[in-house]
Structure 1
Amino acid sequence: MKQWFATLLLVTLVLSCVFLESTATEDSSYCGKMCGVRCSKAGLKKRCLKYCGICCEACKCVPSGTYGNKSECPCYRDKLNSKGNPKCP
């Protein structure tokens, strides 16, 4: 009985890790793609991609285009940095 329970526990752990990894990969690829478009014309592309990625992970959306359109994603629009300026590019 103990061996059966240990095997079941191990299989459950492996399956949950695989599921969580695939979910994280899907979110990352979405954010990477959308932020790549958003930051394509940015002067400081690395910084734009960094903050866009942070905002995308938190908000699960990125406004369309390379600038503006922030009304499409209120969470993205309303994020502020410590100085009270918009955090998301």
Structure 2
Amino acid sequence: MKMVQATVFLLACLVVCSSLLDPTMAAGSSFCGSKCSARCSKAGLKDRCIKYCRICCDKCKCVPSGTYGNKHECPCYRDLKNSKGKPKCP
């Protein structure tokens, strides 16, 4: 009986832990993760920069080179706007 309780407890822990993981950290987005880390390496608000960069990368499948500018390399990334009409992507 104790073995069943331990198994149920471990399964419950796995479910809770997996629901807390950020879906953008999945292996499929390693391209975006590495590109956005490089893009946002000098940003003042690094977490925010990486968040929006990953959103843009997931939609556009590209990230401009360097830490600033070069948006001509990826027109989709360049042209995404937020609700206020300003550039969404860092």
**Both structures adopt the same fold (TM-score exceeding 0.5):** yes
| Identical aligned residues as a percent | 75
Partner of 2:89: 88
Partner of 2:14: none
Query: What do you get for the CA RMSD once the two structures are aligned?
Result: 0.9
Partner of 1:25: 27
Partner of 1:41: 42
Normalised by the length of structure 1, the TM-score is 0.71
Structure 2 CA distance, aligned partners of 1:64 and 1:25?
21
- Give unpaired runs (5+ residues) of structure 2: 1-25
- Does residue 50 (structure 1) correspond to residue 55 (structure 2)? The answer is no
Deviation at 1:29, TM superposition (A): 0.3
SS in 1 for 2:59: helix
Q: Deviations over 1:30-74 (max 9, x none)?
A: 000000000000000000000000000000000000000000000
Structure 2 CA distance, aligned partners of 1:59 and 1:33?
15
Structure 2 CA distance, aligned partners of 1:68 and 1:41?
13
Deviation at 1:25, TM superposition (A): 2.4
Structure 2 CA distance, aligned partners of 1:37 and 1:47?
14
- Give unpaired runs (5+ residues) of structure 1: 1-23
Partner of 1:79: 80
